Structure 1
C-alpha cells in the first residue's frame, strides 16, 4: 500500500514538485508506483512507460521513476532524447541517491529531490523555447 510510504499530502506535494520541475524545460517527468506486480518488474516498468505514452513527447525527453516499495524496486527510464544527453552515469548516481534515502525511510524526500534533479538536467539540455506545452499529465500513476 502506498499509504505506508507516502501520505496523501506528500503525494500532492510530489505532483506540485513535478509541475515546478517541468516549468524549467520542455521535458516531462512521471512517477509510477506499483503495488501489485511481483515478477519481472523491469519489463513491467517498460510496459508502463509505453502505456503512459512517454515515448510520444516531441523531444523524446520524458523520464519515468518506477517504484515498487513492497518489492524494494526502483528503476528510472529516460527516453532516448534525454538519455543520449545525460548518459547512464547520471541515472546510476540518481538511482543510488534515491535508494540510499529509501533505506533511511525518507521516501518523500528521495522522490522530491530526484524530481528536482531531473528537472535541472532537463533544463540544461531542453530549455524552454516559446510556449512550454505540458505534454503529459503531472499525476502520479499507480497499479
Structure 2
C-alpha cells in the first residue's frame, strides 16, 4: 500500500489496520486486493484508477479477480476497480454496496474504517466466487 505523507487526511489512515484487513480478506480467496492512496492530481479519478489497476499487480491476477481501492484524499474521491472475472460474477449491486458503505465512512472522515469495510466486503465476495482451495 502506498500513501503520501503530505496530505492531512492520508495521515489518518492506519496502515497496519488496512494491511491486516487485506491479509484477512485474502485468506479465503485466490483474489488479490490492493489499496493505493495517491496525492492530489488533476484529471479523472476513475481513469487514473483504471490506469493504476493495469500497472499494478492487482491488474495481473491470474484469474482476473483482483480489486483495487484507489483513494484520492485531497479530493475526497475514490474508485473501486475490479478485474473482468470478479466484475462479471459479483454483479453491479456488489459494487454499488461497496461504494455506498465507503462513501458514508469517508464523509465522516474515517478513511481507515471505510477502507476496512470495503476490503472486508471485497474479500467475502472474492471468497464466494474464487475460493482458495488446498491446491492454492
TM-score in terms of structure 1 length? 0.84
Aligned with 1:43 (options 38, 41, 47): 47
Shift of 1:131: 4.1
**Larger helix fraction of residues:** 2
Between the aligned partners of 1:29 and 1:2, the Cα distance in structure 2 is: 23
Structure showing greater relative contact order (alpha-carbon pairs closer than 8 Å, 6 or more residues apart): 1
* Match in the other structure for 2:29: 25
* Match in the other structure for 2:9: 4
Aligned with 1:72 (options 76, 99, 114): 76
Shift of 1:123: 0.6
Matched, 1:95 2:96: no
Spell out structure 1 runs of 4+ moving beyond 6 A. none
8 Å contact from structure 2 (residues 9, 74) kept in 1: no
Between the aligned partners of 1:2 and 1:123, the Cα distance in structure 2 is: 34
Shift of 1:98: 0.3
Measured against aligned partners, the alpha-carbon deviations of 1:10-59 in whole angstroms (never above 9, x if no partner) come to 11221121011100110100011111322122211111001104232111
Between the aligned partners of 2:91 and 2:107, the Cα distance in structure 1 is: 25
What's the secondary structure of 1:30's corresponding residue? Answer: strand
**RMSD after superposition:** 1.6
8 Å contact from structure 2 (residues 90, 125) kept in 1: yes
Shift of 1:7: 4.2
* Match in the other structure for 2:58: 54
What is the number of residues matched between the two proteins? 131
Between the aligned partners of 2:11 and 2:92, the Cα distance in structure 1 is: 28
8 Å contact from structure 2 (residues 28, 123) kept in 1: yes
What's the secondary structure of 2:74's corresponding residue? Answer: coil
